[in-house]
Structure 1
């Protein structure tokens, strides 16, 4: 008598091909749109176990979780699998798909007024999220930061990230994949959200940060005071980063100023706006 392999069993290329066929079918019958299909197809490259593959199709109608082409005879031990490191999508193809996803998500729509933002709920599967195209403000202002936080909440259902760096017109941030805390994705934010790179391994003890904890009134004051504190001649704020608490200190905001001569200064403050340390230009 035979029994099926457990979800932790390493997947074969045949198993991945079967899941890709299910994704293609789901796109054809309208269960997935183009962006959702492409993102899940990208994730196949990093799917190492039958459980990883099942997670990509478990919410689809008539989707049978992937099963191995063989089974384990009762009382026996499966033989060592041969190397199966061939990926479905080479780096250049992944880059092209990422660009296609970005183009799909960035297709313009008229800017909706802020008060018309839809109610949000906790999201279980990032690959099932609908596209969200938003107008990007000047992010290096307290108002721009506030809009980013609300857009993030509308897209993902929460305001939790591993890290965040923002420039004037775009931002980059990393967050864990839903229901897979050992995987992370880095996203870009520029007139919408899009994955910037393939998912990668994430340590289970990676610290996180809730952007809702940033005191936005204090942030506005901090940005207004930064020029006088950092003393960068004709300087402008280059970027802001927000990092979670770790062994080196509490959760913090870093503001960096620079000018056309690459002269720079920076400061670090708490999420409540208390200045913890400054590095003025020339000192």
Structure 2
């Protein structure tokens, strides 16, 4: 079962963009009036250490995953996916059988050891081509600061549809199991922020 947390959508707008020390940009998110303003950090994208097997929670990894997905399936549509540092889990509709879904795992190639299961006809699909990877990479790099997790790192990224809208959920945690997450649209609009509260 792919792990996803529900996102509570709220009106988001970019208030200011400030360049700090020439490397870090800050985007101020204007939430619903009932919610406190939350600072969201969008830092420059990190370069993957290994060109052959980049982390899937970096720009290089997302691009590689998308290329491999298109090569394997001939399209960029999926029901949902969870990307970790070294592997991913996805679910996609069975071709010509919209009432069936097939789970796959990904570690450089896509494999499935399971049989299709039932799927509601008309289930909305997430399009990987909609991802603004360079912009999302900045949010990935700044996510630990955005959600206030000390010494945190991105544990995984969820892709899917929530309340009819495509969402990218960035989850952050540390060794003390303190955590938080951001929810964005594929083009980088902030929908929700859950900060760690000590």
Give 5+ residue unaligned stretches, structure 1.
1-113, 115-134
SS in 2 for 1:222: helix
SS in 1 for 2:111: strand
Picking from 151, 166, 171, the partner of 1:251 is: 166
SS in 2 for 1:206: coil
Counterpart residue number, 1:263? 178
Structure with the largest fraction of strand = 2
Is 1:214 equivalent to 2:131 in the alignment? yes
- For 2:98 and 2:117, the matched residues in 1 are separated by 11
Counterpart residue number, 1:138? 55
- For 2:104 and 2:146, the matched residues in 1 are separated by 32
SS in 2 for 1:186: strand
Q: Give the drift of 1:182.
A: 1.1
Counterpart residue number, 1:183? 100
Structure with the largest fraction of helix = 1
Q: Give the drift of 1:205.
A: 1.8
Q: Give the drift of 1:249.
A: 5.0
Picking from 87, 90, 93, the partner of 1:173 is: 90
Paired residues of 2:98 and 2:119 also in contact (CA < 8 A): yes
SS in 1 for 2:165: coil
Picking from 157, 174, 193, the partner of 2:110 is: 193
Give 5+ residue unaligned stretches, structure 2.
1-50
Moved more, 190-199 or 164-173: 190-199
Counterpart residue number, 1:99? none
- For 2:106 and 2:53, the matched residues in 1 are separated by 8
Counterpart residue number, 1:44? none
Alignment root-mean-square deviation, CA: 1.6
Q: How does 1:106-185 map to 2 (within 5 A)?
A: 136-185=53-102
- TM-score with structure 1 length normalisation? 0.50
Counterpart residue number, 1:272? 187
- For 1:191 and 1:156, the matched residues in 2 are separated by 14
- TM-score with structure 2 length normalisation? 0.71
Question: Deviations for 1:36-65, whole angstroms, at most 9, x for unmatched residues?
Answer: xxxxxxxxxxxxxxxxxxxxxxxxxxxxxx
Q: How does 1:220-235 map to 2 (within 5 A)?
A: 220-235=137-152
SS in 2 for 1:251: strand
